[in-house]
Structure 1
Amino acid sequence: MGYSIDLSKISIEAYMEILKTQYVLPSRKILHQDIDSSFDAIHSCNIRD
């Protein structure tokens, strides 16, 4: 049993929604900066999960 979610089992869109609504550690706050365009770039590279 792990302390984090298995990222291979959820979509990029689902992960983005999780990040938007969850508290993240200070070292991961950069993930919240311009999150929509960052995930658009990931999606445009055909990365799905």
Structure 2
Amino acid sequence: MKEHKKSQTKEKNLLCRLAEIVAPQASEFCWGLYYQPKEPDNISELQTNR
């Protein structure tokens, strides 16, 4: 039983370290989906229509 708990702990630590390595890189691949320009498209048209 103790050996099983030790192996589980090692697996959890490995998984945690893997997540720490992969998470920052994954967010860089998805930046395009959440990018918002500082100024919306056609902002001048919206401002002149007021």
State the structure with more CA Rg.
2
Structure with the higher helix share, 1 or 2: 2
The TM-score, its normalising length taken from structure 2, stands at: 0.25
